[in-house]
Amino acid sequence: PTVVKRIAAGEIIVQPANALKELLENAIDAGSTMIDVLVKDGGLKLLQLNDNGCGIAREDMPLLCERFTTSKLLRFEDLSLISTYGFRGEALASISHIARLSVVSKIAESPLAYKCYYTNGQTATLKFKQDPNCKPQPVAGNGGTQITVEDLFYNLPSRLHSLRSKNDEWIKILEVLGRYAVHSEGVGFSCKKMGEPHPSISTRPNASLKERIRTVFGTSVASELIEFDFPCEEFGLSSIKGAVSGFNYNNKRKIQPVLFINNRLVMCDPLKRAINSVFQVFLPKGNHPFVYLSLLIEPQNVDVNVHPTKQEVRFLFEDEILEWICGKIHDVLSERDN
C-alpha cells in the first residue's frame, strides 16, 4: 500500500512546481502576508517555504500528513462550496510519500514552535524513519510555518529521470511563484536560489497590482497597463478583475495568460484562444499581449474535480462567459485607441 500511495502521489506531484503551488496556497490560506521560498537544484534537493500565517497547533501536527486531513472542510456537503484554495487535504500527505518533509510551526498562543518530520503520511524520526509515536519537538521559531521538502522523488527514480534539467524546474518554480505574486493582493513573496545573494523575485506585501506586475514581468509589460474591474451578475460570475498590456511595441516576449478562477491558478485554453483573437485586432503582428484575469464564479459552477497537475479548468456557461469577457476587453482596448 505504501508503494501504491507513492505512485499515486507521484501522479499528483509530477514536478517541483506542483508541490510549490500546493504549499503556496496553504501559506496564503493561513493568512500570511509574507512568504519566502528557498530553492536548491530546481526544487529537487530543497524546496522551503517560510510564512507568517496562523501556524499549526502542536496537537494538529501528528495528523498533518494523513490523507484528507484538512482544517478547511467543516462538513462534507461543504465540498461543493469551498472557496479557499484547499479542499482535498491531500497535498502534504502526497508530498510526505515522495520526499523528506519537515514542518516547524508556531501559533500565536504558544510560546514555542514545534517541529515534526514526516514520511509516508506519518510522523517520522529525524532520519525519516516512519514512527507514529514521534511527538512534535519544541524548538525556537517565529510565528508562522516553515515547510521543508527535501530530496523530492528520492524514492521514485523513474519520475526523477523523466524531468529535464534543474534549470527547467527552477524556471517553472519562478513562473508559478510569479503568478501568485501578481494575484495575491496584500501578500509579499520572495524566491531565492540557495547560495545566491539576492532573491530572483521579491515583492512587497502592500505593492499595487502594477508594481507587482512590474516586479514579476518587467517594466515593458507594466507600462501602459490597463487595469479593470467589471461588475457582473450573469452566468454565476460575481467579479472579473484584471489587467491587460502589450501595446508597448517592445513586448516581443510571449507570456502565457495569468488566469485565476476562485483564487486558484488555472489554465483554460478556450479562454486563452478567445483573448488572443481579441488582441489580434489591436496588436501589431509579432507583439504579444499580457493578460491577467481573476474570475470569481459560483463554486458549484466550477469543476473542482480537476487533476491537480492538469490545471485545466471547466465551468458552466463557458461560451457565454468567454464572450462576455472578450467583449469587455474589446471595449477596454478600443477606448484606449480613441
Residues forming contacts to ligand ADP in the complex (CB under 6 A) are: 22, 26-27, 30, 51, 53-56, 64, 69-72, 86-93, 145
Please say whether the beta carbons of 175 and 205 come within 8 A. no
Nearer Cβ to ligand ADP (101/321): 101
Cell of 179: 503568478
Task: Say how many C-beta atoms besides its own lie within 10 A of residue 40's C-beta.
Answer: 16
Smallest distance from ligand ADP to CB 91, Å: 3
Cell of 156: 521514485
Smallest distance from ligand ADP to CB 267, Å: 20
Q: Which does 328 bind (CB under 5 to 8 A by kind): Mg ion, ligand ADP, none?
A: none
Smallest distance from Mg ion to CB 95, Å: 10
Residue type, 15: Q
Smallest distance from Mg ion to CB 147, Å: 11
Smallest distance from ligand ADP to CB 264, Å: 11
Smallest distance from Mg ion to CB 19, Å: 11
Please say whether the beta carbons of 26 and 91 come within 8 A. yes
Of 13-42, binders to Mg ion (CB under 5 A) are 26
Q: Which does 54 bind (CB under 5 to 8 A by kind): Mg ion, ligand ADP, none?
A: ligand ADP
Nearer Cβ to Mg ion (68/76): 68
Q: Give dist(CA 301, CA 278) in Å, integer.
A: 25
| Piece in contact with Mg ion (CB under 5 A), picked from 90-98, 113-121, 163-171, 249-257 | 90-98
H or E stretch at 228:
strand 226-231
Query: Measured at CB, which residue is nearest to ligand ADP?
Result: 86
Cell of 68: 484528507
Nearer Cβ to Mg ion (86/188): 86
Of the candidates 34, 307, 3, 36, which has an alpha carbon nearest to the alpha carbon of residue 198?
A: 36
Q: Which does 204 bind (CB under 5 to 8 A by kind): ligand ADP, Mg ion, none?
A: none
Q: Both ends of the chain: CA-CA distance in Å?
A: 64
Nearer Cβ to ligand ADP (30/325): 30
Cell of 269: 485554453
Q: Which does 9 bind (CB under 5 to 8 A by kind): ligand ADP, Mg ion, none?
A: none
Is 12 a binder of Mg ion (CB under 5 A)? no
Out of 16, 86, 136, 236, the only residue in the binding site for Mg ion (CB under 5 A) is 86
Q: Identify the DSSP state of 76.
A: G
Please say whether the beta carbons of 35 and 188 come within 8 A. yes
* DSSP per-residue string spanning 114-162: EEEEEETTEEE-TT--B-TTPPPEEE---SEEEEEEESTTTT-HHHHHH
Nearer Cβ to ligand ADP (214/264): 264
Smallest distance from Mg ion to CB 129, Å: 26
Residues 6+ apart with CB under 8 A from 271: 257, 259, 293, 322, 325
Smallest distance from Mg ion to CB 66, Å: 14
CA separation, residue 22 to residues 112, 114, 259 (Å): 26, 22, 16
Cell of 238: 460575481
Nearer Cβ to ligand ADP (218/299): 299
Out of 44, 54, 65, 91, the only residue in the binding site for Mg ion (CB under 5 A) is 91
Nearer Cβ to ligand ADP (106/214): 106
**Which residues contribute to the site for Mg ion (CB under 5 A)?**
26, 86, 91
